[in-house]
């Protein structure tokens, strides 16, 4: 073989490998940015206040939690947790006269009245496309009038990706459930 023949074969191999690299890069980008996003699971979470019940001398509420996979593939559930925090209207700064004060949960009162976190939807280990999981949770709230509830659904991670997580929050007014203006009792979702 002469030097020109070797050079010709090297250029042929180099061109073939370059073409193969371009084809593989195109396939990867279509899968990652096109098909991967459109076929990814997507979970929608909803928290509503169903009912207020009397538990002897204390008051309880029933929260309805719903998770629905609106994506096109199944999502394996690692865990699903709800965190409930009472919100109190008494401000720690009595000299603050602004109209819109942020109402922050009092951590000491949280520990006295409500446990911090619950694991929910234990009967489901995965959600198929368009599958819906529901659970009702009974909480003892005593004299709490406003409750902040946050639900987080954790899915198993992909082989090459990060852990999946979906979160929603709702501020629930326990006084408005019985009024006709807001049957769900949801102030903010």
pLDDT tens digits, 10-38 = 999 999 999 999 999 998 888 777 666 66
Name the more confident of 152 and 178.
152
* pLDDT number for residue 167: 93
Which structural domain, as residue segments, surrounds residue 28?
1-38
The tens digit of pLDDT for each residue in 112-135 reads: 555 568 899 999 999 998 999 999
pTM comes to 0.65
What span, in angstroms and rounded, lies between the C-alpha atoms of 105 and 85? 6
CA distances from 97 to 87, 89, 101, 106 (A): 19, 14, 8, 20
One domain for residues 151 and 107: yes
Tokens of 132: 């819906």
- Same domain for 80 and 158: yes
Shared-domain flag, residues 124 and 154 = yes
């Amino acid at each position: 073989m002469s030097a020109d023949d070797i050079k010709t074969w090297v250029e042929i191999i180099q061109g073939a490998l370059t073409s193969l690299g371009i084809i593989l890069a195109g396939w990867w980008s279509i899968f990652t940015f096109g098909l991967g996003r459109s076929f990814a699971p997507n979970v929608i979470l909803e928290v509503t206040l169903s009912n207020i019940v009397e538990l002897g001398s204390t008051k309880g509420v029933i929260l309805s939690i719903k998770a629905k996979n609106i994506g096109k593939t199944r999502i394996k559930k690692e865990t699903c947790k709800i965190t409930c925090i009472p919100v109190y209207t008494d401000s720690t700064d009595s000299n603050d006269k602004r109209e819109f004060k942020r109402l922050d949960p009092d951590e000491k009162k949280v520990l006295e009245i409500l446990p911090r976190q619950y694991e929910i939807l234990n009967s489901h280990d995965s959600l198929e496309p368009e599958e819906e999981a529901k659970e009702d949770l009974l909480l003892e709230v005593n004299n709490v009038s406003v409750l902040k509830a946050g639900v987080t659904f954790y899915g198993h991670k992909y082989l090459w990706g990060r852990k999946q997580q979906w979160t929603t929050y709702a501020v629930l007014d326990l006084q408005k459930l019985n009024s006709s203006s807001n049957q769900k009792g949801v102030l903010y979702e």
